[in-house]
A and B are shown apart, each in its own frame.
Chain A
């Protein structure tokens, strides 16, 4: 409020000035009632001016306060809603992170399951290899037996070849079983273990079985 307010003395001076100075001669010609009416009229004018000034200033101030309060209320509501939105986004982000963690765990489980399946499949193929070999040897022995029955080969040759074929089959079985049990890695079929050599790339095994039993089936 930079503008000084009008003092009461100023108002009184203005009123008295109108009554006392310029209109002395005019007032002298008026009757008593006319003079009273004239004074009342002047006072009413002054009062109207005062009322107008006071009202105007008050209404201006009241409007400014009301507008400022409304602005603050709107801003506060905006802040509150923005805060709610931020919290909502944070909650969704937390859920997303949890899903990421679950997905990460699932990825490890799926990866490990794939390794198990691969190991099991290779184990089956190894068993299949021996069965194929056994089948070939049995067929070979059958053929030798047929030849011996028809006296195309001697008994000693038959016994020698049969024994060699049998020993070969036993050797293959023992060798492969021992290799799988002792040398072969428990996690990767094609990886060999060397006890005296430190593993330069140790595997980070988090979940899943350490090894699979030999000749297991999926």
Chain B
């Protein structure tokens, strides 16, 4: 396996190995980590689920990396925002893990070498005991960071479940889309029928116009014939008088 934390070029020595992570930590209590029996199970040293969830909630809120639950018009690019913020969160966790990882490997080697090359007197050496205690603290932080990462994975899986849940997220959106599509199909079909009816009525108007035109021609013909008839009558009247 290729080594991790290759980007961390920090040189670790006895003066800086016990330093605290200087940036915003993913661990609670200002980067100290989970402490106390309320947060840590004394039997196995694992952080309790409730404490992890609370810390994940704070972490996601502070980093603004909560998975987008809904898509609203006010938040046009939730996916792009989430992608950017979640990448920053992963990068922050990676840096903190590497910060402690390099220190742990340094102090662990030191402690093991001291333990392996010294005799029974080592158990009373205050410097050794202090280094050992520091190594345990750093190891605890590394383990807690891993547990926080596991909690983050669980949180993301929970968000995905809401996306693909029964009546939420993708399914709801698909249902809405199907309803809108069905309405559109119905209205389109109605529009087609209305257009056909409109064509029929337009043809009826053309037919009525034709009839009007025919009647108008007949009116003209009969008007002319009446004028001729009146003229004929006047002519006969003149003849009868003469």
The answer to whether A and B interact is yes
B117 contacts across to A, CB distance below 8 A? 36, 39
Interface SS of chain B: helix
Q: A39-B116, A58-B146, A58-B149 are in contact. List 17 more A-B contacts (CB 8 A).
A: A1-B46, A39-B113, A51-B3, A69-B90, A80-B71, A82-B174, A90-B180, A92-B184, A93-B183, A93-B187, A110-B202, A121-B215, A124-B215, A124-B219, A138-B229, A142-B236, A148-B240
Q: How large is the interface on B (under 10, 10 to 19, 20 to 34, 35 or more residues)?
A: 35 or more
- Take A47-B105, A47-B112, A58-B146 as given contacts and tell me if A139 and B229 are in contact as well, using a CB distance cutoff of 8 Å: yes
Name the segment of A95-103, A171-179, A199-207 touching the other chain: A95-103
B78 contacts across to A, CB distance below 8 A? 76, 80
A134-178 at interface with B (beta carbon < 8 Å): 134-135, 138-139, 141-142, 145-146, 148-149
- Interface check B205, CB cutoff 8 A: yes
- Take A12-B111, A93-B183 as given contacts and tell me if A79 and B82 are in contact as well, using a CB distance cutoff of 8 Å: no
- Residues on A lying within 8 angstroms of B by beta carbon are 1, 4-5, 7-8, 11-12, 15-16, 18-19, 36, 39-40, 42-43, 46-47, 50-52, 54-59, 61-62, 64-66, 68-69, 71-73, 75-80, 82-83, 85-86, 89-90, 92-93, 96-97, 99-100, 103-104, 106-107, 110-111, 113-114, 117-118, 120-121, 124-125, 127-128, 131-132, 134-135, 138-139, 141-142, 145-146, 148-149, 217-218
> Cβ of A103 and Cβ of B194 under 8 Å apart?
yes
Specify the chain A residue showing the minimal Cβ separation from B157: A68
> Cβ of A5 and Cβ of B68 under 8 Å apart?
no
- Interface check B225, CB cutoff 8 A: yes
A85 contacts across to B, CB distance below 8 A? 177
- Interface check B32, CB cutoff 8 A: no
> Cβ of A149 and Cβ of B236 under 8 Å apart?
yes
A39 to B115, CA, bound (A): 10
- Take A117-B205, A131-B222 as given contacts and tell me if A100 and B233 are in contact as well, using a CB distance cutoff of 8 Å: no
> Cβ of B83 and Cβ of A73 under 8 Å apart?
yes
> Cβ of B90 and Cβ of A117 under 8 Å apart?
no
A58 to B68, CA, bound (A): 26
A54 to B221, CA, bound (A): 111
- Can you name 26 A-B pairs with beta carbons within 8 Å? A7-B45, A8-B136, A11-B108, A12-B112, A39-B113, A39-B117, A47-B108, A56-B1, A58-B97, A61-B153, A65-B152, A69-B90, A72-B160, A73-B82, A79-B170, A82-B170, A93-B184, A99-B191, A103-B191, A110-B205, A117-B205, A117-B208, A124-B219, A128-B219, A131-B222, A142-B233
A51 contacts across to B, CB distance below 8 A? 3, 105
> Would you give the 0/1 interface string for B201-219, flagging 1 where the beta carbon is closer than 8 Å to chain A?
1101100110110011011
Q: Closest CB-CB distance, B18 to chain A, in whole Å?
A: 15
A42 to B116, CA, bound (A): 9
A165 to B83, CA, bound (A): 101
User: Which listed residue (B113, B202, B208, B223) contacts A43, Cβ 8 A?
Assistant: B113
Q: Closest CB-CB distance, A176 to chain B, in whole Å?
A: 15
